[in-house]
Structure 1
Amino acid sequence: MSRVALLTYSTKPRGGVVHTLALAEALADQGAEVHVFALGSEGFFRPLKVPFTLFPFTVEGDSLEEKVFACIGAMTAGLAKVAGEFDILHAQDCISARAATQVHPRVVRTVHHVDDFTTPALVDCQRRSIVEPGHVLVVSEHWRRVLLQEYGVAAQVVRNGVDPARIGPVSARRRARLRASVGAGDRFLLLAVGGIEPRKGSKTLFRALGLLRGDKPVLAIVGGHSFRDHEPYRRQALALLPGLGLNAAQDGAQDVVQLGTVSEEQLAAWYRSADALAYPSIEEGFGLAVLEAQVADLPVVASDLPVFREFLTHGRDALLPAVGDPVALAAALEQVMTDPALRATLVAGGRLVVPRFTWAACAARHAEIYRSIR
């Protein structure tokens, strides 16, 4: 099997990074010689069972454009010293793809989603990161169609996986302690994963909470680290809460609680301690958090995105209200909160979804693709 370098721009728990680490370990389990390269200095968000190298870098300037090109420069400089040791460089993002194509003739690129960049330099940078690699993969049929229609690139679909062992059980005592820490107690606890940002539909979720009748749930939001600066959006979203009758104060009865970036073990415990996942994204590459929640037997309320419809069925294994519609989302949340039979149906449906997505199958398909590259 080929010697493969897997490249990712970050060490933080974002979807593409999670995918990279899980794929690397699954490939190694199947006998591949794999090495992970990333930008960073503090190690990955979880222990990694394969060799890795981090390229330190300093970002000069505050704009997204300056950050992106500084990262590309740092990744290119680091890879230039080691690229010859590998048969294939497999990039998982725009930054590492642009770097890889400058230092190696055989580059595989996985496009998890296409960012909504607005400046000409970043739009062109993203376009080149998609059209220049010799082999392009995607994680859903939706993005395969987008790349073909908008970039003229024929990509292959390789699905994500999920590792149930990483979402282990939690004791009743710890579950009670976590719930108490966010003021849930006997209140219904919704978990949102990915922070407060436009792509996650945070404003829609807040507006939906404000429309709920009767007892309000507690919304615990995990994550939030992002290469892009979502702070203006976050402030705007949080500013909506008082007008919606919701409280995000640091004391008293909280309705919305920001937990920030947590360890993998802590995330698993939150999945096991919540009552449902609220994941009303307006754009996703795949939505790994949905599978992770289903491993933890959480009912899922997502949104009617094409990528979700590829593996979820409304009413059977998730509720998929209209994208960006707070009224529809509120109705779905209220159904899940008030109907135990529906929750049981969604949990049972989720248990049938999870086995279809394994990292072993994902790695095996990648290995086939690597072997086909000459």
Structure 2
Amino acid sequence: MRELALVTHSTSPRGGMVHTLALAEALQAAGQPVHVVSQGDPAAGLFRPTTVPFTVLPAPPSGGSLTDKVFASIDRLTTALGDLTDRFDVLHTQDCIAARAAARVRDAGADVAVVRTVHHVDDFTTPALVDCQRAAIREPDRVLVVSEQWRRILRDEYGREATVVPNGVDPDRFPPVSPERVAELRASIGAQDRFLFLGVGGVEPRKGTHVAFEALGRLTATMPHPPMLAIVGGHSFRDYAAYRDETLARLPDLGLELGRDVVLLGTLSEADLGAWYRSADALCFPSLSEGWGLAVLEAMAADLPVVAGDLPVFREYLLHHHNALMPHSGDSVALARAMQEMYADRALRRRLRTGGRETLARYTWAASARRHLAVYDDVRAGVGHPAG
């Protein structure tokens, strides 16, 4: 058996790359030879150590429009994959760029099958990128999704059947940290005596950051000791600078001060990310669109109670008042009420932590790997998507 390649367009520690690396490790543990291929800085490697063999290909130079960057990445990855494919029989791609590149390599005559996991579909407006994304869903030999919601979307909007293979979570990824470390982190942002919500994913439209700011502003106006919000992440292939600048510029009008009520922590090391998960009081995750929302499971694994929007994908594994609070997505008034309830009710937070631990048991990477292996066996045997 030749190796399986898990292919991504970026080493950035966002959901897709976190998924890729954790899946690769679970596949390796199950006996599947696997190799991770990505684009980034070869000298820097991946965002955390791993026992899985990997190749980091040089990313194309930065600059130019989003369309320019996407097609430059596809071209660069196509060339590099073409030089590697004699080692692999399956290219399992994790994004639009990787899927287009892998399909080009296959169509040029390489003896490989292309599998694509659609984590979510981007809201591109440029015709070239809309067409590119549609082709990245149409061209692979087999398409996977991580939720029933996205299976329905691909069927109804793209005419493509997909197999659901849910995400997993490593419950030991973020081990407990010492009380001294917690105190140090909280003191570094002035959160010694303030309730601290953690946001994950940077300041982005899809993450509903403006909704979180509006909700926090409401609490700041009405509570004598309001909570604060620290946001981790922010590195993205897409340029959200305009949204970020506009959203942050609104903070004073909302009665909020950057650095006091809202703190931007940026992209963190693996150890520091885990420490912040363990040091906050609750996760605030008011996304407007998600493929799965891996940060929710990560928070649960760190015993952090969760506030998340009532997106259909979240309703597949979250239950209001059992393992999360789920205000109406996009509604800052509802989010403010949920944040205040989380803040005020210690017993609720204990109950949500218990519900979160119960949820984790259903989503292991070992189980996800077994389901992936069945798909790879089908693909290698030339079996298409099951009918229905």
TM-score, normalization: structure 2? 0.94
Return the offset for 1:237: 0.8
1:83 counterpart (75, 82, 85):
85
Matched, 1:69 2:79: no
Match of 1:145 in 2: 152
Matched, 1:306 2:317: no
2:373 counterpart (350, 367, 372):
367
Q: Could you list the per-position Cα deviations for residues 275-320 of structure 1 after superposition, in whole angstroms to 9, with x for gaps in the alignment? A: 0000000000101100111111111000010110000001111011
Q: Is the 8 A contact 1:137 1:156 kept in 2?
A: yes
* Greater Cα shift, 101-110 or 129-138: 101-110
Return the offset for 1:3: 2.1
Q: Taking structure 1 as reference, are residues 276 and 122 closer, same or farther at Cα in structure 2, changes over 3 Å only?
A: same
Q: Is the 8 A contact 1:130 1:136 kept in 2?
A: yes
Match of 1:39 in 2: 39
Match of 1:219 in 2: 229
Secondary structure, counterpart of 1:80 in structure 2:
helix
Counterpart AA for 1:78: A
* Greater Cα shift, 56-65 or 34-43: 56-65
Q: Is the 8 A contact 2:203 2:209 kept in 1?
A: yes
Matches within 5 A, 1:108-147: 108-147=115-154
Q: Matches of 1:192 and 1:61 in 2, distance apart?
A: 28
Q: Matches of 1:60 and 1:77 in 2, distance apart?
A: 18
Matches within 5 A, 1:153-164: 153-164=160-171
Q: Is the 8 A contact 1:2 1:371 kept in 2?
A: no
Match of 2:186 in 1: 179
Q: Could you list the per-position Cα deviations for residues 207-243 of structure 1 after superposition, in whole angstroms to 9, with x for gaps in the alignment? A: 0001112122121100000000011101111111101
Q: Could you list the per-position Cα deviations for residues 242-296 of structure 1 after superposition, in whole angstroms to 9, with x for gaps in the alignment? A: 01111114xxxx0000000001111111111000000000000101100111111
Secondary structure, counterpart of 1:333 in structure 2:
helix
2:208 counterpart (186, 191, 201):
201
Match of 2:109 in 1: none
Q: Matches of 1:24 and 1:150 in 2, distance apart?
A: 30
Q: Taking structure 1 as reference, are residues 44 and 60 closer, same or farther at Cα in structure 2, changes over 3 Å only?
A: closer
Match of 1:325 in 2: 331
Q: Give the RMSD, CA atoms, in angstroms.
A: 1.0
Q: Matches of 2:171 and 2:2 in 1, distance apart?
A: 28
Return the offset for 1:60: 6.1
Q: Taking structure 1 as reference, are residues 89 and 340 closer, same or farther at Cα in structure 2, changes over 3 Å only?
A: same
Secondary structure, counterpart of 2:361 in structure 1:
helix
Q: Is the 8 A contact 1:108 1:137 kept in 2?
A: yes
Secondary structure, counterpart of 1:221 in structure 2:
strand
1:101 counterpart (79, 100, 103):
103
Matched, 1:15 2:15: yes
1:295 counterpart (290, 301, 305):
301
Q: Could you list the per-position Cα deviations for residues 157-204 of structure 1 after superposition, in whole angstroms to 9, with x for gaps in the alignment? A: 001011111110100000010111110001101100000000100000
Matched-pair identity in %: 61
Counterpart AA for 1:102: R
The answer for unaligned runs of 5 or more in structure 1 is none
Segments of 4+ in structure 1 off by > 4 A?
none
Return the offset for 1:61: 4.4
Q: Is the 8 A contact 2:177 2:275 kept in 1?
A: yes
Q: State how many pairs are aligned.
A: 370
Q: Is the 8 A contact 1:60 1:66 kept in 2?
A: no
Match of 1:232 in 2: 242
Secondary structure, counterpart of 2:271 in structure 1:
helix
Q: Taking structure 1 as reference, are residues 60 and 286 closer, same or farther at Cα in structure 2, changes over 3 Å only?
A: closer
Q: Matches of 1:21 and 1:124 in 2, distance apart?
A: 28
Q: Matches of 2:369 and 2:100 in 1, distance apart?
A: 23
Secondary structure, counterpart of 2:92 in structure 1:
strand
Match of 1:6 in 2: 6
Secondary structure, counterpart of 2:172 in structure 1:
helix
Q: Matches of 1:60 and 1:305 in 2, distance apart?
A: 34
Counterpart AA for 1:8: T
Q: Matches of 1:60 and 1:322 in 2, distance apart?
A: 38
Match of 1:191 in 2: 198
Q: Is the 8 A contact 1:60 1:70 kept in 2?
A: no
Match of 1:246 in 2: 256
Q: Matches of 1:103 and 1:177 in 2, distance apart?
A: 50
Counterpart AA for 2:13: P
Return the offset for 1:59: 3.0
Q: Could you list the per-position Cα deviations for residues 110-143 of structure 1 after superposition, in whole angstroms to 9, with x for gaps in the alignment? A: 0000000001100000000001001000000000
Matches within 5 A, 1:260-275: 260-275=266-281
Q: Taking structure 1 as reference, are residues 247 and 61 closer, same or farther at Cα in structure 2, changes over 3 Å only?
A: closer
Q: Matches of 1:40 and 1:208 in 2, distance apart?
A: 36
Q: Is the 8 A contact 2:146 2:164 kept in 1?
A: yes
Return the offset for 1:2: 5.4
Q: Matches of 2:82 and 2:45 in 1, distance apart?
A: 21
Matched, 1:166 2:173: yes
The answer for unaligned runs of 5 or more in structure 2 is 107-111, 382-388
Q: Matches of 2:123 and 2:233 in 1, distance apart?
A: 21
Q: Is the 8 A contact 2:39 2:59 kept in 1?
A: yes
Counterpart AA for 1:45: F
